[in-house]
Amino acid sequence: MFLEIDQLSKSFGGLQALDRVSFEVQMGAIQALIGPNGAGKTTCFNLISGVLPPSAGSIRLMGQEISGLPPHQIARLGLARTFQNIQLFGGMTVLENVLVGQHIHLHGGLVATLCNLPDIRRQEQRAKTFVRELLDFVGLADKETWSADSLAYGEQRRLEIARALALQPRLLLLDEPAAGMNPRETEDLMALIAAIQERDITVLLIEHDMNLVMNISKRIVVFDQGRVIAQGPPRAIRQNPQVIEAYLGKEEDEDDV
Amino acid sequence: MTEYFLHIAIISGLYIILALSLNLIIGYCGQVSLGHAAFYGLGAYTSALITIHWQVSFFLALPVAAVVAALFGLGLGIPTLRLKDDYLAIVTLGFGVIVDLILLNLDVTGGPDGLARIPPPRLGGIDFRDKVWYLLLVALVVAFTLGLISRLVHSRHGRALKAIRDHEITARVMGINASAYKISIFTLAAGLAGLAGSLYAHYITFINPESFGLHTSILVLTMVVLGGMGSILGSVVGAGVLTILPELFRRFADYQDLAYGAMLIALLIWRPQGLLGSGKISRKFSLAKNRAKKER
């Protein structure tokens, strides 16, 4: 299995944010995590990406145990992510932001860099070419010299995705990519996620937009109060009474989430 | 009179090296250091001691001073760079005070009297007691520092540093080993300060701990903030301005520290990005950050 989450738990003091969560992600699939706010979805992402250490349980990426590794090592194993509240490098340009994502693919330590060896310059050129392709892919090619925080909201979301793709990951975690987007932007985003999947990148996403989730995910995992209460293909999830009670039923009168 | 201008130029050069190196830590890496003068002092004393006691050539003592200062930087950096903001400021401040006290109390450093008769550099027929030659020497080291730092900040390492400064967690998620970077940069900056220390010792030929205390750390910090955190040219201008201005207002020398303090506070309130900074980066350190939050 590509990604295996087994009995994963996390507590913050007395609060059990995640309680023995288990699920799997197939290689090449688009899979969604859904659930009410505070159900533990983002905590789950933070544990997978190494931002927080788990209290118990295991996370295996392509067979390798990654739980408890620091985030920069997990990134090198092929995992990239975006954040629920956009985390761009505001002091840098659009191009530089995405170049940061290429960091692990560039070689040459401090000394080689300070000597400005030809190989370093060649690598830098290659990285720029690749990054410009990515900006084109997410539709930001004409804005590479803009400062990242001067972009419109939807563009910032796409820039964050481009930056994550620059890591050339095997697994991409998207934390509420459609949050705050209008229906048109959401349509574009769905197309973008589908195109990402075609690049042989497995996508695990957290999303509240049910239209998006039901349309593009192969499987859905439903969280509630730190537990997984259901998982399966979209059709089964839609009809699961427990899910309807915990989440989907409430969605009707909480369309702002 | 020419002598006097040459002197000012040489001292400016030393402060440019100090400001540039501190800017690496503060402006590019986003870490606070209030003990930078300690590395300057360690470089000065190392260089002075080995040239006095072992008759080592200055041109060997200069890199040795840098290495020794860098090793102290590494030693301080490894345990402390996990700390953030205020805590790091306190620890580096403490380090500065400790080094100052050690220099004051050891026999080998001459205590409060310091070290005298430090040999000026000699190379072939060139006598570096001639200030023109010494200025040339300092200018070379300044050029080296400038080249090194501008190459660094425009490379992938520079991007990594800025990423750490802007959002450390995100930087780490991007595959950047933030702790290793912070420690390396702290070490490099300490080494550069050591270079400046060695140049100072062999220029003045007499050193005592007074030159390397908190006062100097704050002065260099003011230069960086005045010029603009994260701006190379800013550090050069900041160092130049704060070396030349006090010369123009010699009469008020007693109030210098007061003036630096007032200037630092005024800058942080009204122009946190400094004279030449880009503005966005220094929010972390300023009141403007809270203001921006409120506006949202």
Of A168, A196, A218, which closes a domain? A168
Mean pLDDT of chain A: 90
* Residues in A touching B166 (Cβ below 8 Å): 88-92
Range from A62-71, A159-168, B81-90, B134-143 carrying the lowest mean pLDDT: B81-90
* Residues in B touching A42 (Cβ below 8 Å): none
Instruction: Tell me the average pLDDT across B241-268.
Output: 80
> A175 and A257, same structural domain?
yes
Angle at A59 between CA A53 and CA A64, to 5 degrees: 115
Nearest-CB residue to B278 (from A91, A114, A124): A91
Is residue B288 predicted with pLDDT exceeding 60? no
> A205 and A138, same structural domain?
no
Range from A169-173, A203-207, B163-167 carrying the lowest mean pLDDT: B163-167
Nearest-CB residue to A113 (from B152, B165, B170): B152
The answer to whether A51 contacts chain B (CB < 8 Å) is yes
Is residue B160 predicted with pLDDT exceeding 70? yes
How far is it, in rounded angstroms, from Cα B93 to Cα B101?
Answer: 13
> A152 and A31, same structural domain?
no
Percent of chain A with pLDDT over 90: 69
Q: Please give the radius of gyration of chain A, using alpha carbons only, rounded to the nearest integer.
A: 19
How far is it, in rounded angstroms, from Cα A171 to Cα A30?
Answer: 10
> A186 and A255, same structural domain?
yes
CA B179, distance to chain mean position in Å, is 21
Letter for the amino acid at A138? V
> A164 and A178, same structural domain?
no
> A205 and A99, same structural domain?
no
* Residues in A touching B160 (Cβ below 8 Å): 100, 103
Instruction: Tell me the average pLDDT across B208-223.
Output: 91
Q: Is residue A162 part of a domain?
A: yes
> A250 and A185, same structural domain?
yes
User: Model confidence over B33-58: pLDDT tens digits?
Assistant: 999 999 999 999 999 999 999 999 99
Q: Which residue of A has its CA nearest to B184?
A: A110
Please judge whether B173 and A124 are an interchain contact, meaning their C-beta atoms are less than 8 angstroms apart: no
Is residue B296 predicted with pLDDT exceeding 90? no
Domain of residue A139: give its range. Answer: 89-168
User: Model confidence over B269-282: pLDDT tens digits?
Assistant: 888 788 887 655 44
**What is the structure's pLDDT at B281?**
47
Of A168, A199, A233, which closes a domain? A168
Instruction: Tell me the average pLDDT across A247-251.
Output: 58
In chain A, the number of structural domains is: 2
Percent of chain A with pLDDT over 70: 96
User: Model confidence over B52-70: pLDDT tens digits?
Assistant: 999 999 999 999 999 999 9
Instruction: Tell me the average pLDDT across B11-28.
Output: 95
Q: Is residue A58 part of a domain?
A: yes
Phi, psi of A45 (to 5 degrees): -60, -40
> A210 and A180, same structural domain?
yes
How far is it, in rounded angstroms, from Cα B20 to Cα B142?
Answer: 9
> A4 and A109, same structural domain?
no
The CATH number for A74's domain is 3.40.50.300
User: Model confidence over A20-53: pLDDT tens digits?
Assistant: 999 999 999 999 999 888 899 999 999 999 999 9
How far is it, in rounded angstroms, from Cα A119 to Cα A139?
Answer: 30
Please judge whether A149 and B280 are an interchain contact, meaning their C-beta atoms are less than 8 angstroms apart: yes
Cβ atoms of A27 and A61 within 8 Å: the answer is: no
> A118 and A3, same structural domain?
no
Extents of the domains making up chain B = 2-212
**pLDDT confidence bin for A250, thresholds 50/70/90:** low
**pLDDT confidence bin for B293, thresholds 50/70/90:** very low
Q: Which residue of A has its CA nearest to B279?
A: A91
Of A139, A168, A197, which closes a domain? A168
Please judge whether B174 and A91 are an interchain contact, meaning their C-beta atoms are less than 8 angstroms apart: no
Instruction: Put residue A182 in one of left, alpha, beta given phi > 0 → left and psi -120 to 50 → alpha.
Output: beta
Cβ atoms of B183 and B189 within 8 Å: the answer is: no
The answer to whether A70 contacts chain B (CB < 8 Å) is yes
The answer to whether A49 contacts chain B (CB < 8 Å) is yes
> A235 and A183, same structural domain?
yes
Instruction: Tell me the average pLDDT across A156-165.
Output: 94
* Residues in B touching A89 (Cβ below 8 Å): 162-163, 166-167, 170-171
Please judge whether A90 and B278 are an interchain contact, meaning their C-beta atoms are less than 8 angstroms apart: no
- Summary count for chain A: helices (H), strands (E): 11, 10
**What is the structure's pLDDT at A157?**
92
Instruction: Tell me the average pLDDT across B212-227.
Output: 91
How far is it, in rounded angstroms, from Cα B23 to Cα B192?
Answer: 11
Nearest-CB residue to B167 (from A76, A80, A89): A89
Q: Is residue A217 part of a domain?
A: yes
CA distance B187 to chain A (A): 12
> A142 and A125, same structural domain?
yes
* Residues in A touching B156 (Cβ below 8 Å): 99, 102-103, 106, 108, 113, 124, 127
DSSP alpha helices (H): ranges in chain B? 2-23, 36-54, 58-80, 85-105, 131-153, 156-166, 168-173, 178-204, 214-227, 232-248, 256-270, 287-295
